[in-house]
């Protein structure tokens, strides 16, 4: 905890010491103390700050103290805590806290002088700010007013926030301080190793890969440790899976032909033997053809039927990372910033204009095509992308999610992200732009992936073990710099930085010189056990997970019989667009009469179309292949993610949460009843395969909402609304008081633009 002693230079502080001198600050009548994490220090603070709650009026605004630490921006409201507490209690961040990493843009405004400035690192501010607007990466927009605060202190806090949210170096992210200190003191939660308590394999050791090979029955593949100590590639994991026909020497020899030495990487195997492989583009065009040929041959050899491989060039068929970034920026703008009254009429076309949904659809569609190749055509597929670190991550994980029910369990999903994103070297550091250094590298690929997953869960509500809440907090976790998962560009960078850090921190001799940096998968870091039950989808039935543990996935064995052609494709096509001799009989201006039906088969059905049509004409087996419908009407906006902070959108006492509530209660009741039944039935052979723990006591129960006992009033809790379990109050206040010139400017301002373009934009 922060004590009175002067700030030790444990964290590099670029601000002149005068600004960190807290003696100047006005002593508040009540001390409003924030909660600090180990290693967290206050940089600056100011009192009598007003946090805006509503965009329209200042009614309900909160007064309190605004604090900038080396980890977060914290606001401590005065007075008694609100009656309706925030539902979720985040263990690292309070209701009014924003981690510095989460800040997208820091904007200061002087309302009276009509000035406004986007603040970056080490900048000066020529005016005293009357307002501070924080645009956050999790789509919140939070506004503070300094009408009653000391102008100098306010200015200092703003500068401190701006400065600390632009760390000069990755080392300066709070995570290092925090985790280093925790290690130092040895007060780790549970005193565990980084793996402690996490069931998710991290794929940093051969055994994780081995298990995956066995699980998928990939007999033609083996773990190769040629990249230990990152000998052949900086961005590949230390252990990779290659065709058995390639020796370590072969791999080493082929490696220089590929960008960054990235030899093709095995992702997953279908039961039918076809494999999913990802590959980078050529580094050396001269040797490329030959090398590729050898690799393809090796992959073909690993296929039980020696099938030729199919190459899918993702760069050619998908939007690039800049397109995706600009689509996301637009979608975000539409959902959180554009005034509703004006966008109402154009809502659909504005969302269309962002192209976000179109991209979501494109990715799903392409992934489904690859599913067809693997499952329907039984051929191995190589995903080709220039660097193999962006689009390939999205597509390979989506394909596996569609094909393998294991990845639809919580642990399976986490291992998928670990395998295809973290270990495969997705540049989280650059794409998240944690250091705010290079905006052109920023791109929300992981968010796009989560949106695609959400679309799948939307179409198959019972097939995934996790909820959309889980997906949302997973995306939020990208902006908390305490987890190794989203901080680095590659596992090598992670290892390297941690080593450097522990050297600098002079960790006592005799101890391991690596700082432990747990992944996000250790959810107890962020949420209580009870809050974690919100991850559980009550409709999911965890059979996939059960059978996987036995090393046996029968799931994606679809009986070939099911594909028996029920329908012949008509080879004859009718001429399109020709009017019949007889005018269509119209039944007197009826509604549909003027529809020009377009029924003639436009083109011959492609084999993949036929595969999908066949697949969709059968009942879906959620333990088998799941293919999403990708017609435009099936791709919809992920409301919880995009709109959860918008108070106007929130439906009190309504929304999907009410369904979640009801289903949870029901499932909880079923689990209790079954527990009882098992007790009565004893050890009958029938009941043994049931994996759930016998007689779940109330704190072990998996549902957030428990079945109501007859004594409880059977009412819906008042907390339910369409933003559940998030609280939109005060988290989205982009607009100033209506009518003032500055508010109009703010409404029209493209505030989400990059800092560079607006950095010196004062007037």
Partner 1 sequence: MEHIRTPKVEQVRLVDRFSNKSTNGTLYLTATHLIFVEGSSNNSASAGQEIWILHHHIASVEKQSLTTTGCPLVIQCRNFRVVHFVVQRERDCHDVYSSLLRLLRPVYYEELYAFSYNPKQNDQQREEGWQLIDLGAEFERMGVPNDQWQHTDVNRDYKVCETYPRDLYVPITASKPIIVGSSKFRSKGRFPVLTYFYQEKKAAVCRCSQPLSGFSARCLEDESMLQAISKANHNSRFVYVMDTRPKLNALANRAAGKGYENEDNYSNIRFQFVGIENIHVMRASLQKLLEVIGARSLTMSDYLVGLESSGWLRHIKAIVDAAVFLTKAVTVEGASVLVHCSDGWDRTAQVCALGSLLMDPYYRTIKGLMVLIEKDWISFGHKFADRCDQLDGDPKEVSPIFTQFLECVWQLTEQFPHAFEYSEWFLLQIHEHVHSCQYGNFLGNNQRQREQLQLGERTHSLWDFLMSEKQNYLNPFYKPSYSEAHPVLEPSTLPYHFKFWRNMYHQFDRSMHPRQSILKTILTLKENSRKAESELQALETRLQKLGVTPIATSDPPAPPPTRDQRTNPLPPRPDSLILGAPINHKEVERREEEDEQDEVGVEATERTDTERTVEGSSGTESRKQSYGELEGTCNGELAKEEPAVVSLELGVARMTC
Q: Within 304-343, which residues bind partner 1 (CB under 8 A)? A: 340, 343
**Considering the complex, what minimum distance in angstroms separates the CB of residue 712 from partner 1?**
9
List the structure tokens of 588.
């007197």
**Residues pairing with 277 in the sheet:** 266, 382
**Residues in contact with partner 1, total (CB under 8 A)?**
133
* Rounded to 5°, angle at Cα 742 from 741 and 743: 95
Q: Which of residues 712-731 bind partner 1 (CB under 8 A)?
A: 713-716, 722
Q: Which stretch binds partner 1 (CB under 8 A): 68-76, 204-212, 539-547, 754-762?
A: 539-547
List the structure tokens of 550.
């036995």
Nearer CB in complex with partner 1: 277/364: 364
Q: Which residue of 137, 156, 166, 361 would you call a contact of partner 1, by CB under 8 A?
A: 361
Alpha helix segments (H runs only) across 1-111: 17-20
Cα(743)–Cα(355) distance, rounded to whole angstroms? Answer: 28
Q: Which residue of 285, 689, 739, 763 would you call a contact of partner 1, by CB under 8 A?
A: 689
Which string of DSSP letters, residue by residue, matches 420-466? Answer: IIITTT--HHHHHTTT---GGG---HHHHHHHHHHHHHHHSTTS-SB
* Rounded to 5°, angle at Cα 747 from 743 and 752: 125
Nearer CB in complex with partner 1: 191/689: 689
Alpha helix segments (H runs only) across 167-270: 174-185, 206-216, 248-254
Nearer CB in complex with partner 1: 299/318: 318
**Considering the complex, what minimum distance in angstroms separates the CB of residue 730 from partner 1?**
19
Cα(174)–Cα(111) distance, rounded to whole angstroms? Answer: 33
Nearest alpha-carbon partner for 426 in 278, 294, 548: 278
Q: Which residue of 105, 380, 447, 622 would you call a contact of partner 1, by CB under 8 A?
A: 622
Q: Which residue of 2, 127, 347, 752 would you call a contact of partner 1, by CB under 8 A?
A: 347
* Rounded to 5°, angle at Cα 57 from 55 and 61: 85
- Residue 270 touches partner 1, criterion: CB under 8 A: no
List the structure tokens of 113.
């002088």
Q: Which stretch binds partner 1 (CB under 8 A): 51-59, 469-477, 495-503, 554-562?
A: 554-562
**Considering the complex, what minimum distance in angstroms separates the CB of residue 745 from partner 1?**
25
Q: Which residue of 293, 617, 740, 760 would you call a contact of partner 1, by CB under 8 A?
A: 617
**Considering the complex, what minimum distance in angstroms separates the CB of residue 577 from partner 1?**
10
Q: Which stretch binds partner 1 (CB under 8 A): 11-19, 446-454, 524-532, 616-624?
A: 616-624
Q: Which residue of 124, 568, 739, 763 would you call a contact of partner 1, by CB under 8 A?
A: 568
**Considering the complex, what minimum distance in angstroms separates the CB of residue 56 from partner 1?**
15
Nearest alpha-carbon partner for 392 in 367, 373, 362: 367
**Considering the complex, what minimum distance in angstroms separates the CB of residue 334 from partner 1?**
10
Q: Is 583 exposed, middle or buried (0-12, 13-18, 19+ CB in 10 A)?
A: exposed
**Considering the complex, what minimum distance in angstroms separates the CB of residue 459 from partner 1?**
4
- Residue 683 touches partner 1, criterion: CB under 8 A: no
Q: Which residue of 57, 199, 305, 679 would you call a contact of partner 1, by CB under 8 A?
A: 679
Nearer CB in complex with partner 1: 342/511: 342
C-beta separation of 406 from 626 below 8 A: no
Cα(212)–Cα(551) distance, rounded to whole angstroms? Answer: 9
Nearer CB in complex with partner 1: 57/557: 557
- Residue 36 touches partner 1, criterion: CB under 8 A: no
**Residues pairing with 243 in the sheet:** 221
Q: Which stretch binds partner 1 (CB under 8 A): 55-63, 164-172, 490-498, 613-621?
A: 613-621
- Residue 557 touches partner 1, criterion: CB under 8 A: yes
Q: What angle in degrees, to the nearest 10, is found between the helix axes of 356-371 and 445-459? A: 70
Q: Which of residues 634-673 bind partner 1 (CB under 8 A)?
A: 634-637, 639, 643, 648-656, 658-659, 661-663, 665-667, 669-670, 672-673
Q: Is the peptide bond before 725 cis (omega within 30 degrees of 0)?
A: yes
Nearer CB in complex with partner 1: 499/586: 586
Nearer CB in complex with partner 1: 484/623: 623
Q: Which of residues 443-462 bind partner 1 (CB under 8 A)?
A: 458-462
Q: Which residue of 566, 738, 740, 760 would you call a contact of partner 1, by CB under 8 A?
A: 566
Nearest alpha-carbon partner for 368 in 325, 402, 394, 322: 402
Starting at the edge strand found earlier in the chain, the sheet holding 42-51 runs 98-99, 72-77, 62-69, 42-51, 141-145, 131-136, 103-110, 115-119
Draw the binding track, 581-600, toward partner 1 (x: CB under 8 A; -: no contact): xx-xxxxxxxxxxxxxxxxx
Q: Which of residues 462-491 bind partner 1 (CB under 8 A)?
A: 462-463
**Considering the complex, what minimum distance in angstroms separates the CB of residue 417 from partner 1?**
23
List the structure tokens of 302.
């690993």
Which string of DSSP letters, residue by residue, matches 644-657? Answer: TT-GGG--BT-SHH
Torsion of CA 178, 182, 185, 191, to 10 degrees: 180
């Amino acid at each position: 905890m922060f004590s009175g002693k002067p700030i030790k230079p444990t964290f590099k502080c670029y601000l002149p010491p005068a600004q960190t001198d807290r003696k100047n600050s006005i002593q508040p009548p009540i001390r409003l103390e924030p909660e600090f994490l180990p290693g967290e220090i206050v940089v600056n603070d100011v009192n009598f700050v007003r946090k805006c709650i509503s965009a329209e009026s200042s009614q309900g605004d909160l007064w309190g103290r605004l604090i900038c630490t080396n980890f977060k921006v914290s606001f401590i409201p005065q007075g008694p805590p609100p009656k309706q507490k925030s539902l979720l209690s985040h263990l690292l961040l309070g209701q009014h806290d924003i981690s510095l990493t989460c800040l997208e843009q820091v904007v200061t405004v002087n309302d009276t002088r009509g000035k406004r400035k986007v603040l970056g690192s080490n900048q000066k501010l020529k005016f005293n700010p009357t307002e501070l607007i924080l645009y956050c990466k999790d789509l919140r927009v939070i506004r503070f007013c300094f009408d009653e605060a000391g102008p100098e202190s306010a200015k200092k806090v703003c500068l401190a926030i701006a400065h600390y949210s632009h760390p000069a170096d990755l080392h300066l992210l709070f995570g290092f301080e925090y985790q280093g200190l925790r290690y130092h003191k040895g007060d780790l939660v549970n005193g565990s190793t980084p793996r402690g308590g996490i069931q998710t394999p991290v794929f940093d050791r051969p055994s994780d890969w081995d298990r995956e090979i066995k699980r998928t029955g990939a007999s033609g593949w083996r773990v190769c440790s040629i990249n230990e100590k990152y000998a052949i590639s900086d961005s590949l994991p230390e252990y990779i899976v290659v065709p058995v026909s390639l020796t370590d020497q072969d791999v080493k020899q082929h490696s220089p032909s590929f960008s960054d030495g990235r030899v093709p990487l095995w992702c997953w195997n279908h039961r039918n033997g076809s494999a999913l492989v990802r590959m980078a583009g050529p580094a050396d065009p001269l040797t490329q053809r030959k090398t590729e040929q050898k690799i393809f041959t090796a992959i073909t050899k690993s296929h039980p039927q020696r099938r030729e491989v199919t190459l899918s060039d993702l760069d050619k068929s998908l939007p690039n990372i800049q397109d995706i970034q600009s689509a996301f920026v637009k979608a975000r703008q539409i959902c959180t910033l554009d005034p509703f009254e004006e966008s109402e009429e154009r809502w659909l076309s504005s969302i269309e204009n962002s192209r976000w949904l179109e991209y979501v659809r494109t990715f799903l569609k392409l992934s489904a095509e690859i599913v067809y190749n693997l499952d329907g055509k039984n051929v191995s597929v190589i995903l080709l992308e220039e660097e193999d670190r962006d689009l390939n991550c999205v597509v390979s994980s989506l394909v596996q999610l569609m094909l393998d029910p294991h990845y639809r369990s919580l642990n399976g999903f986490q291992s998928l992200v670990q395998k295809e994103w973290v270990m495969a070297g997705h540049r989280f550091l650059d794409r998240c732009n944690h250091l705010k250094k290079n905006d052109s590298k920023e791109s929300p690929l992981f968010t796009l992936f989560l949106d695609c997953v959400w679309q799948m869960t939307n179409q198959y509500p019972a097939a995934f073990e996790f909820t959309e809440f889980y997906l949302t907090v997973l995306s939020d976790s990208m902006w908390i710099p305490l987890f190794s998962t989203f901080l680095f560009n590659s596992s090598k960078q992670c290892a390297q930085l941690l080593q450097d850090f522990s050297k600098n921190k002079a960790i006592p001799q005799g101890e391991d010189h690596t700082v432990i940096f747990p992944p996000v998968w250790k959810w107890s870091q962020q949420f209580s056990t009870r809050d974690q039950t919100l991850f559980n989808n009550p409709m999911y039935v965890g059979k996939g997970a059960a059978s996987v543990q036995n090393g046996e996935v029968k799931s994606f064995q679809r009986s070939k019989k099911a594909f028996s052609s029920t329908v012949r494709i008509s080879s004859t096509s009718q001429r399109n667009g020709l009017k019949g001799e007889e005018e269509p009989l119209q039944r007197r201006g009826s509604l549909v009469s003027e529809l020009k039906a377009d029924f003639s088969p436009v083109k011959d059905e492609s084999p993949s179309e036929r595969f999908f049509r066949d697949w969709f004409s059968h009942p879906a087996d959620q333990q088998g292949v799941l293919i999403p419908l990708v017609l435009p009407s099936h791709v919809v906006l992920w409301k919880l993610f995009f709109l959860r902070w918008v108070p106007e959108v929130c439906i009190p006492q309504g929304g999907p949460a009410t369904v979640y509530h009801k289903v949870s209660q029901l499932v909880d009741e079923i689990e209790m009843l079954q527990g009882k039944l098992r007790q009565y039935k004893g050890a009958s052979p029938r009941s043994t395969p049931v994996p759930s723990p016998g007689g779940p006591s109330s704190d072990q129960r998996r549902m957030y909402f428990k079945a109501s006992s007859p004594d409880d009033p059977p009412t819906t809790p008042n907390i339910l609304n369409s933003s559940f379990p998030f609280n939109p109050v005060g988290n989205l206040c982009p607009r100033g008081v209506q009518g003032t010139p500055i508010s109009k400017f703010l409404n029209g301002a493209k505030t989400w633009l990059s800092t560079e373009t607006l950095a010196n934009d004062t007037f």
